[in-house]
Amino acid sequence: MSDCMPCDLENAADERVVYRDDTWACEVPEGYEVPGWFVLRLRRHAEGWHEPTAEELAGFGPVAKRIVAALQQATGAVGTYFMSFGENYKHFHFLLTARPADLAPEHRGGAIVGTRAENLDVDAALAVAAEARRLLAA
107-116 average pLDDT score: 92
Q: Is the pLDDT of residue 1 over 80?
A: no
pLDDT band at 89 (very low <50, low <70, confident <90, very high): confident
- Domain of 65 in residue numbering reads as 5-133
Structural domains counted in the chain: 1
Is 43 domain-assigned? yes
- What is the number of helices (H) and of strands (E) in the chain? 4, 5
Q: Tell me, what CATH number does 110's domain have?
A: 3.30.428.10
Digit-coded pLDDT (tens) for 4-42: 999 999 999 999 999 999 999 999 999 999 999 999 999
Is 100 domain-assigned? yes
Digit-coded pLDDT (tens) for 44-82: 999 989 999 999 999 999 999 999 999 999 999 999 999
Is 138 domain-assigned? no
